[in-house]
């Protein structure tokens, strides 16, 4: 044995350096491994970090090396995950420790005591009588056994109510060990495939069997049965002793998918934000120990510490929520492709409206396309009706907000005892309050954003920072009582619809009502059980929900997103309209979609309404190529922010000089004030770098580092966003 001390490089959640050097006490010499979570002294503090390397070597000179002081033997990242995280930290330009902190849940890092998991199982054969409320809870419970915390969330109820149901014999509440017996009662899914589904499954299965790393793009219209393809492939991977990652943009809004997964497989973890710290820690350890076969979760589930991942599935791959908007600013779909390449396994991206990036990759031959064009249950996609609101205003001889077509059809829905969904992607009563005497517009004192009027609360609110206050009676600028509201939000839309259609009961689902009533689960459950004729909501109603009685979907101000200063505006509008259109008529009755817009000639709308995705994609890709945007360019955004406008400007311009010096062919837009130049009391400047590709964008960042990097300046924060999605 050598006399040299055992030295470990430890990544700590701090910006800047990737790792710090510590001595490993001899008591840990045999047990400590790379990927282990340890406690280390840092100045006067004690912090947690992860061991990156460990070896016997000369201790560094120039400072006193300190000892690792604690070790959590139960938290060890597998080497393949550590490799992915190292790749991510380099690509997205944060420290290894910062990336690790984003990838490993805090309760795991901080050593939360695992909590014994309690499961709730529905007795599906139960036929006794329950109170109306108990019955509603029972109906809402998934058939498969569910974690207690999740059951409470899904059924919008409490432990006390579930205990009452258990007393009545309608559910059983047990600990983890007894799951197997309960599961025997769970409903099994039928496995009849369409030819298209079979081809998709066989093609991916070939790559699985050959151990080939291959990205697949499963392009399937809404209702074409993508989930069955996912689950069948997952079953193959699990049978081969490997594990499956299923990423979703959003868990709370897709309860049906989670329920199907739980029905089909035994050892499943559905990761969501409703977990207690102890449950989260327990799940993580089970995954790491190989006791879980399939993880369902949002973007951070990509970092589930599986010992042998065999397949990664990214559902709704076009969704923007895969991009994390704080450090580490990774994109989970993009990172999933990298991970699958490193592991030598297939990755399956699914969508009815694939992102332009993925379509481009498929056209370049990097992804293989699998198409599902038919809907086994839902019949034909409805042909949406596009209404020109300029003509509508002319015909109604007033500033019309709801077209006659939509109102007529809502009346029919009401008469037929069916249901409707009306979508408007803006909450509150009115987005603008301004003075008719002097023209002053109410805006947030902390942001460069106009305040939204909320009539129910009689308040004005900033939707960016949350600041709110009472609705003023007089104009704060000229003191005249002449404040008026302009524009339409969901609150006003719901009121108008109820007033225009006699007897129509309207339920509103947006961030406001969800906050008031504790969760969408309750609202969706109410709508599903027929508590209202019409659901009015923001885009959260557009995600993955199936309501069999919905035969009408309306989209109000469908072109609203097109005016945003964002090169993806058209793509998002197209996806939203196409996705929502796919939600109507998924049951046995045919559906209708009514789309209201002022700019009815916009290609994004026309193509979505006419079911012409290829026409849209071709035209949009051409524009992206012409103007040098992804997928034909690599983008980097620098954002400077701080309390002093002068300082922010000074530092941004100074850093901008360095960026320009190393540009070497990259286009540098800015630095200039951001579109939202003042947000949450911070002044903001930004610069956008356009490089020929993602590779040349990385080379640009290397040149920035080689030139000394962007020097830290007091009071000004600079954020680097690689492949940004937010550009305002
Ligand atoms: Zn005024
Ligand atoms: Zn604000």
What are 683-720's pLDDT values in tens digits?
Answer: 999 999 999 999 999 999 999 999 999 988 999 999 99
Whether 559 contacts 545, CB under 8 Å: no
Measured in angstroms, how far is the CA atom of residue 462 from the centroid of ligand 1?
20
Ligand nearest to the CA of 437: 1
Cα–Cα distance, 407 to 420 (Å, whole number): 11
Measured in angstroms, how far is the CA atom of residue 55 from the centroid of ligand 2?
51
Whether 96 contacts 151, CB under 8 Å: no
Instruction: Look at residues 55, 61, 69 and name the one whose alpha carbon lies nearest to residue 2.
Output: 55
Three-class DSSP category at 442: coil
Ligand nearest to the CA of 465: 2
Measured in angstroms, how far is the CA atom of residue 471 from the centroid of ligand 1?
14
Residue 410: which region, alpha, beta or left (left: phi > 0; alpha: psi -120 to 50)? alpha
Measured in angstroms, how far is the CA atom of residue 327 from the centroid of ligand 2?
22
Measured in angstroms, how far is the CA atom of residue 432 from the centroid of ligand 2?
14
Boundary of a domain, candidates 487, 503, 532? 487
Average pLDDT estimate for 364-391: 85
Measured in angstroms, how far is the CA atom of residue 441 from the centroid of ligand 1?
8
Boundary of a domain, candidates 447, 469, 487? 487
Cα–Cα distance, 551 to 591 (Å, whole number): 4
Give me the count of residues in the chain: 728
The CATH number assigned to the domain holding 562 equals 3.40.50.300
Whether 627 is covered by a domain: the verdict is no
Ligand nearest to the CA of 444: 2
Q: What is the pLDDT of residues 674-684, one digit of tens each?
A: 999 999 999 99
Measured in angstroms, how far is the CA atom of residue 440 from the centroid of ligand 1?
5
Measured in angstroms, how far is the CA atom of residue 678 from the centroid of ligand 1?
23
Measured in angstroms, how far is the CA atom of residue 443 from the centroid of ligand 2?
8
Measured in angstroms, how far is the CA atom of residue 450 from the centroid of ligand 2?
8
Q: Are 292 and 406 contained in the same domain?
A: no
Q: Are 698 and 616 contained in the same domain?
A: no
**pLDDT value at position 379?**
63
Q: Are 220 and 178 contained in the same domain?
A: no
Measured in angstroms, how far is the CA atom of residue 417 from the centroid of ligand 2?
42
Q: Where are the alpha helices (DSSP H) in 104-145?
A: 106-109, 132-140
Residue 178 pLDDT level (bands cut at 50, 70, 90): very low
Measured in angstroms, how far is the CA atom of residue 700 from the centroid of ligand 1?
49
Ligand nearest to the CA of 472: 1
Measured in angstroms, how far is the CA atom of residue 231 from the centroid of ligand 1?
60
The CATH number assigned to the domain holding 675 equals 3.30.70.600
On the 0-12 / 13-18 / 19+ scale of CB atoms within 10 A, 108 is buried
Measured in angstroms, how far is the CA atom of residue 490 from the centroid of ligand 1?
26
How many CB atoms neighbour CB 445 within 10 A? 11
Q: What is the pLDDT of residues 559-607, one digit of tens each?
A: 988 888 889 999 999 998 888 877 766 666 678 899 999 999 999 999 9
Domain that holds residue 330: 195-372
Q: What is the pLDDT of residues 214-267, one digit of tens each?
A: 999 999 987 788 999 999 999 999 999 999 999 998 876 666 787 788 888 989
**Worst-scoring range by mean pLDDT, 317-331, 404-418, 428-442, 504-518?**
504-518
Whether 190 is covered by a domain: the verdict is no
Handedness of CA 521, 523, 526, 532 (dihedral sign): negative
Q: What is the mean pLDDT of the chain?
A: 89
Q: Are 132 and 150 contained in the same domain?
A: yes
Measured in angstroms, how far is the CA atom of residue 472 from the centroid of ligand 1?
11
Measured in angstroms, how far is the CA atom of residue 678 from the centroid of ligand 2?
9
Whether 271 is covered by a domain: the verdict is yes
Whether 277 is covered by a domain: the verdict is yes
Pick the residue with more confidence: 115 or 303?
Answer: 303
Ligand nearest to the CA of 474: 1
Does the structure show a pLDDT above 90 at 61? no
Measured in angstroms, how far is the CA atom of residue 451 from the centroid of ligand 1?
15
Cα–Cα distance, 500 to 257 (Å, whole number): 36
**pLDDT value at position 580?**
81
Cα–Cα distance, 145 to 416 (Å, whole number): 37
Instruction: Look at residues 609, 582, 542, 552 and name the one whose alpha carbon lies nearest to residue 402.
Output: 552
Ligand nearest to the CA of 676: 2
Ligand nearest to the CA of 442: 1
Measured in angstroms, how far is the CA atom of residue 432 from the centroid of ligand 1?
14
**pLDDT value at position 604?**
93
Ligand nearest to the CA of 451: 2
Measured in angstroms, how far is the CA atom of residue 429 from the centroid of ligand 1?
20
Pick the residue with more confidence: 574 or 379?
Answer: 574
Q: State how many domains the chain has.
A: 6
**Helix or strand run (H / E) with residue 348:** strand 347-351
Measured in angstroms, how far is the CA atom of residue 519 from the centroid of ligand 2?
24
Instruction: Look at residues 137, 165, 156, 141 and name the one whose alpha carbon lies nearest to residue 263.
Output: 141
**pLDDT value at position 591?**
82
Average pLDDT estimate for 366-371: 96
Whether 684 contacts 677, CB under 8 Å: yes
Long-range CB pairs of 194-198 (<8 Å, 24+ gap) are: 194/225, 194/372, 194/374, 194/376, 196/224, 196/371, 196/372, 196/373, 196/374, 197/225, 197/228, 197/229, 197/232, 197/372
Residue 378 pLDDT level (bands cut at 50, 70, 90): low
Does the structure show a pLDDT above 90 at 304? yes
Q: What is the pLDDT of residues 86-100, one digit of tens each?
A: 999 999 999 999 999
Cα–Cα distance, 299 to 696 (Å, whole number): 26
Three-class DSSP category at 294: strand
Residue 182 pLDDT level (bands cut at 50, 70, 90): very low
Q: Are 200 and 334 contained in the same domain?
A: yes
Boundary of a domain, candidates 62, 79, 109? 109
Q: Are 515 and 398 contained in the same domain?
A: yes
Instruction: Look at residues 146, 227, 148, 235 and name the one whose alpha carbon lies nearest to residue 183.
Output: 146
Measured in angstroms, how far is the CA atom of residue 474 from the centroid of ligand 1?
8
Measured in angstroms, how far is the CA atom of residue 350 from the centroid of ligand 1?
52
Task: Report yes or no for ipTM above 0.90.
Answer: yes
Whether 144 is covered by a domain: the verdict is yes
Q: What is the pLDDT of residues 449-494, one digit of tens each?
A: 999 999 999 999 999 998 999 999 999 999 999 999 999 999 999 9
Whether 189 is covered by a domain: the verdict is no
Measured in angstroms, how far is the CA atom of residue 451 from the centroid of ligand 2?
8
Ligand nearest to the CA of 478: 1
Whether 277 contacts 108, CB under 8 Å: no
Q: Are 231 and 307 contained in the same domain?
A: yes
Q: Are 254 and 356 contained in the same domain?
A: yes
Structure tokens at 339: 């991970």
**Worst-scoring range by mean pLDDT, 39-48, 539-548, 609-618?**
539-548
Three-class DSSP category at 288: helix
Whether 78 is covered by a domain: the verdict is yes
Measured in angstroms, how far is the CA atom of residue 682 from the centroid of ligand 1?
27
**How far apart are the two ends of the chain, measured CA to CA in Å?**
59
Measured in angstroms, how far is the CA atom of residue 705 from the centroid of ligand 1?
51
Measured in angstroms, how far is the CA atom of residue 478 from the centroid of ligand 1?
4
Average pLDDT estimate for 443-454: 93
Whether 400 is covered by a domain: the verdict is yes
Measured in angstroms, how far is the CA atom of residue 716 from the centroid of ligand 2?
20
Contacts of 358 (CB under 8 A, 6+ apart): 217, 317, 318, 333, 349, 351, 367
Instruction: Look at residues 423, 585, 421, 412 and name the one whose alpha carbon lies nearest to residue 501.
Output: 412
**Helix or strand run (H / E) with residue 392:** helix 389-396
**pLDDT value at position 14?**
94
Cα–Cα distance, 115 to 118 (Å, whole number): 9
Does the structure show a pLDDT above 50 at 355? yes
Measured in angstroms, how far is the CA atom of residue 450 from the centroid of ligand 1?
15
Measured in angstroms, how far is the CA atom of residue 282 from the centroid of ligand 2?
38
Q: Are 66 and 149 contained in the same domain?
A: no
**pLDDT value at position 185?**
36
**Helix or strand run (H / E) with residue 98:** helix 96-103
Residues of the chain with pLDDT > 90, as a percent, come to 65
Q: Are 224 and 356 contained in the same domain?
A: yes
Q: Are 604 and 667 contained in the same domain?
A: no
Ligand nearest to the CA of 480: 1
Instruction: Look at residues 220, 275, 283, 208 and name the one whose alpha carbon lies nearest to residue 244.
Output: 208
Ligand nearest to the CA of 460: 2
Q: Are 290 and 204 contained in the same domain?
A: yes
């Amino acid at each position: 044995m050598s006399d040299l001390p055992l030295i470990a490089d430890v990544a700590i959640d701090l910006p800047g350096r990737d790792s710090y050097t510590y001595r490993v006490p001899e008591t840990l010499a045999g047990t400590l491994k790379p990927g282990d979570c340890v406690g280390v002294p840092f100045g006067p503090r004690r912090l947690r970090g992860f061991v990156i390397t460990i070896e016997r070597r000369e201790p560094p000179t120039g400072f006193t090396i300190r000892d690792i002081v604690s070790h959590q033997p139960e938290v060890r990242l597998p080497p393949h995950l550590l490799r992915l995280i190292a790749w991510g930290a380099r690509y997205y330009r944060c420290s290894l420790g910062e990336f690790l902190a984003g990838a490993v849940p805090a309760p795991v890092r901080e050593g939360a005591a695992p909590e014994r998991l309690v499961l709730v199982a529905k007795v599906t054969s139960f036929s006794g009588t329950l109170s109306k409320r108990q019955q509603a809870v029972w109906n809402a419970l998934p058939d498969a056994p569910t974690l207690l915390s999740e059951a409470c969330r899904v059924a919008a109820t409490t432990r006390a109510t579930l205990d009452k149901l258990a007393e009545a014999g309608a559910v059983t509440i047990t600990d983890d060990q007894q799951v197997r017996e309960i599961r025997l009662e769970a409903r099994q899914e039928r496995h009849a495939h369409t030819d298209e589904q079979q081809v998709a499954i066989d093609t991916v299965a070939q790559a699985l069997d050959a151990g080939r790393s291959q990205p697949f793009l499963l392009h399937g219209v809404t209702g074409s049965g993508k989930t069955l393809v996912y689950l069948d492939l997952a079953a193959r991977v699990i049978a081969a002793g490997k594990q499956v990652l299923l990423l979703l943009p959003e868990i709370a809004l897709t309860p049906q998918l989670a329920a199907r997964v739980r029905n089909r497989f035994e050892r499943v973890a559905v990761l969501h934000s409703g977990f207690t710290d102890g449950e989260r820690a327990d799940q993580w350890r089970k995954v790491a120990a190989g006791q879980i076969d399939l993880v369902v979760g949002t973007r951070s589930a990509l970092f589930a510490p599986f010992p042998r991942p065999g397949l990664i599935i990214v559902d709704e791959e076009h969704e923007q929520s895969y991009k994390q908007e704080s450090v580490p600013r990774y994109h989970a779909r993009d990172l999933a492709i990298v991970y699958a390449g490193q592991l030598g396994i297939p990755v399956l991206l699914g969508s009815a409206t694939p992102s332009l990036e993925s379509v481009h990759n498929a056209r370049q031959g990097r992804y293989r396309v699998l198409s599902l064009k038919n809907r086994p249950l839902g019949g034909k996609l409805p042909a949406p009706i596009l209404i020109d609101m300029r003509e509508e205003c002319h015909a109604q001889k007033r500033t019309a907000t709801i077209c006659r077509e939509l109102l007529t059809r809502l009346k029919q829905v009401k008469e037929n005892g069916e249901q409707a969904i009306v979508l408007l992607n803006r909450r509150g009563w009115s987005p603008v309050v301004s003075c008719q005497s002097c023209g002053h517009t109410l805006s947030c004192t902390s942001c460069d954003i106009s305040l939204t009027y909320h009539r129910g609360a009689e308040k004005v609110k900033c939707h960016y920072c949350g600041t709110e206050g009472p609705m003023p009676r007089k104009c704060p600028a000229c003191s005249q009582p002449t404040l008026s509201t302009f524009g339409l939000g969901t609150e006003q839309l719901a009121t108008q619809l109820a007033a225009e259609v006699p007897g129509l009961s309207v339920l509103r689902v947006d961030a406001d009502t969800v906050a008031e009533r504790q969760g969408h689960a309750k609202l969706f459950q109410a709508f599903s059980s027929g508590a209202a004729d019409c659901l009015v909501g923001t885009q959260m109603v557009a995600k993955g929900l199936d309501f069999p009685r919905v035969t009408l979907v309306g989209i109000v101000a469908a072109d609203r997103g097109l005016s945003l200063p964002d090169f993806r505006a058209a793509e998002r509008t197209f996806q939203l309209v196409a996705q929502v259109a796919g939600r109507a008529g998924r049951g046995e009755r045919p559906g209708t979609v009514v789309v209201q817009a002022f700019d009815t000639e916009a290609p994004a709308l026309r193509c979505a309404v006419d079911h012409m995705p290829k026409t849209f994609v071709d035209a949009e890709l051409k524009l992206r190529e012409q103007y040098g945007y992804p997928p034909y360019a690599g983008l980097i955004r620098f954002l400077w922010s701080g309390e002093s406008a002068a300082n922010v400007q000074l530092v941004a311009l100074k850093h901008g000089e360095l960026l320009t010096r190393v540009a070497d062919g990259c286009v540098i837009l800015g630095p200039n004030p951001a579109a939202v130049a003042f947000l949450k009391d911070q002044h903001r400047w930004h610069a956008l770098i356009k490089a020929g590709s993602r590779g040349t964008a990385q080379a640009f960042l290397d040149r920035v580092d080689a030139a000394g990097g962007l020097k830290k300046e007091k009071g000004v924060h600079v954020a680097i966003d690689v492949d940004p999605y937010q550009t305002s």
